[in-house]
């Protein structure tokens, strides 16, 4: 299959809508990462997503909408806390898990009675969904296990020959996948930190938000995951990744000493600390935690392109978007964290 890459225009959006209505797949930009979309009411279309990504069948998909009027078809009820979060953060990078409506097949929810729903703010995502008039199931548009794509070129790298169309809306603004919360337990549980931070959720709800088990630490063998995604290794480049936490000087010394023994090491750090690593390849995490989020996946892909065997990623504090960044880096590292 030939994979077209087109800028979003009325013509390419019409083509995307036609492909989706016929049960095909389209990759499209959102404010978080690129999504791989299919008709969320069509079980066969949803199965094609799993096949194209090589995604484990037990990992459910997020359903994307372009207006609140689509919600009653997708969920059977809206919990009170979910409504508060929708009022505060939709459209935007927040996914809310609610009781599943009848129109959504189990192929989308991986057999669960709950469904994850998101209303993206990206104008091209909204235009595509609106144009085709269907809720769109979409995970990130990468091969399963690889870092999520934040540009159309990343999607092409992974999906060339597997899907007919990639809409190229430029680089994604947030750069990390959406925040995922579960609203089906009476209180909100944070299952995946993202651009909508824990602090922002707590402020909107007026209460503390619990962090799901397995989000910031590995699950024990046989332990049940609140979210199937927590069981799977994620976001990993080919290079081995180690996260290094601790005071600046100790971190720099540890990384310099260890890197001396590696074949092709590199460091991922904020620009302000670049000077601590003379002679080493430095992948830039930018100037702020938000930049780190924006740059992380591209940096991990770049590490593979330049043949790095070992990435030393400097850790961040867990405040604000730091929690989301550390969640992704620690997963990429298989929770290999060096605390000094």
Q: Which residues bind ligand AMP (CB under 6 A)?
A: 59-60, 62, 97, 109, 112, 114-116, 139-140, 177, 180, 191-192, 227-229
In the chain, the N- to C-terminal Cα span, in Å, equals 50
Regarding 140 and contact with Mg ion (CB under 5 A), the answer is: yes
Question: How many Å apart are CA 121 and CA 32, to the nearest integer?
Answer: 10
Q: Which is nearer to ligand AMP, 97 or 276 (by Cβ)? A: 97
Q: Which is nearer to Mg ion, 101 or 237 (by Cβ)? A: 237
Regarding 179 and contact with Mg ion (CB under 5 A), the answer is: no
CB of 10 to ligand AMP, least distance (A): 28
Sign of CA dihedral 49, 55, 58, 61: negative
Question: How many Å apart are CA 138 and CA 25, to the nearest integer?
Answer: 9
CB 16 within 8 A of CB 23: no
CB of 227 to ligand AMP, least distance (A): 3
CB of 192 to ligand AMP, least distance (A): 6
CB 327 within 8 A of CB 192: yes
Regarding 30 and contact with Mg ion (CB under 5 A), the answer is: no
- How is residue 67 written in tokens? 């207006």
Q: Is 138 exposed, middle or buried (0-12, 13-18, 19+ CB in 10 A)?
A: buried
CB of 120 to ligand AMP, least distance (A): 12
Question: How many Å apart are CA 214 and CA 81, to the nearest integer?
Answer: 23
Q: Which does 114 bind (CB under 5 to 8 A by kind): Mg ion, ligand AMP, none?
A: ligand AMP
Q: Which is nearer to ligand AMP, 180 or 268 (by Cβ)? A: 180
Question: How many Å apart are CA 293 and CA 171, to the nearest integer?
Answer: 13
CB of 146 to Mg ion, least distance (A): 9
Q: Which does 66 bind (CB under 5 to 8 A by kind): Mg ion, ligand AMP, none?
A: none
CB of 262 to ligand AMP, least distance (A): 30
Residue 114: how many CB atoms within 10 A of its CB? 18
CB of 96 to ligand AMP, least distance (A): 10
- How is residue 334 written in tokens? 């298989």
DSSP H helices, 22-167, are 43-53, 71-74, 80-89, 106-109, 123-132, 152-159
Query: CA nearest 277: which of 299, 296, 249, 302?
Result: 249
Q: Which is nearer to ligand AMP, 64 or 131 (by Cβ)? A: 64
Question: How many Å apart are CA 202 and CA 127, to the nearest integer?
Answer: 31
Q: Which is nearer to ligand AMP, 235 or 312 (by Cβ)? A: 235
Q: Which is nearer to ligand AMP, 26 or 259 (by Cβ)? A: 26
Q: Which does 135 bind (CB under 5 to 8 A by kind): Mg ion, ligand AMP, none?
A: none
Residue sitting closest to Mg ion (CB): 140
Q: Which is nearer to Mg ion, 3 or 144 (by Cβ)? A: 144
- How is residue 226 written in tokens? 């609140």
Q: Which does 101 bind (CB under 5 to 8 A by kind): Mg ion, ligand AMP, none?
A: none
Binding site for Mg ion (CB under 5 A): 139-140
């Amino acid at each position: 299959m030939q994979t077209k890459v087109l800028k979003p225009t009325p013509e390419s959006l019409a083509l995307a809508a036609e492909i989706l209505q016929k049960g095909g797949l389209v990759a499209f930009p959102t404010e978080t990462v690129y999504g791989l979309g299919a008709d969320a009411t069509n079980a066969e279309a949803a199965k094609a997503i799993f096949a194209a990504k090589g995604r484990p069948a037990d990992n459910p998909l997020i359903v994307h909408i372009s207006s609140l009027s689509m919600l009653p078809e997708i969920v059977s009820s809206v919990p009170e806390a979910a409504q508060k979060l929708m009022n505060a953060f939709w459209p935007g990078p927040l996914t809310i898990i609610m009781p599943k409506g009848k129109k959504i097949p189990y192929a989308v929810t991986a057999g669960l009675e709950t469904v994850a729903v998101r209303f993206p703010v990206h104008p091209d995502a909204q235009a595509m969904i609106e144009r085709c008039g269907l809720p769109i199931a979409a995970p990130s548009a990468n091969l399963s296990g690889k870092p999520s794509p934040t540009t159309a070129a990343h999607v092409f790298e992974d999906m060339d020959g597997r899907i007919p169309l990639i809409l190229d809306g430029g680089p994604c603004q947030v750069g990390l996948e959406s925040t995922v919360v579960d609203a089906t337990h009476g209180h909100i549980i944070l299952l995946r930190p993202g651009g909508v931070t824990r602090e922002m959720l707590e402020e909107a709800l007026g209460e503390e938000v619990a962090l799901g088990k397995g989000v910031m630490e590995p699950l024990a063998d046989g332990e049940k995951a609140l979210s199937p995604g927590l069981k799977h290794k994620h976001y990993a480049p080919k290079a081995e990744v180690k996260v290094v936490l601790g005071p600046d000087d100790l971190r720099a010394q540890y990384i310099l000493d260890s890197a001396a023994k590696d074949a092709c090491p590199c460091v991922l750090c904020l620009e302000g600390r670049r000077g601590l690593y003379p002679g080493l390849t430095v992948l830039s995490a930018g100037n702020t935690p938000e930049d780190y989020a924006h740059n992380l996946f591209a940096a991990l892909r770049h590490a593979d392109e330049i043949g790095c065997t070992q990435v030393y990623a400097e850790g961040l504090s867990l405040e604000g978007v730091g929690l989301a960044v550390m969640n992704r880096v620690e997963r990429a590292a298989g929770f290999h964290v060096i605390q000094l």
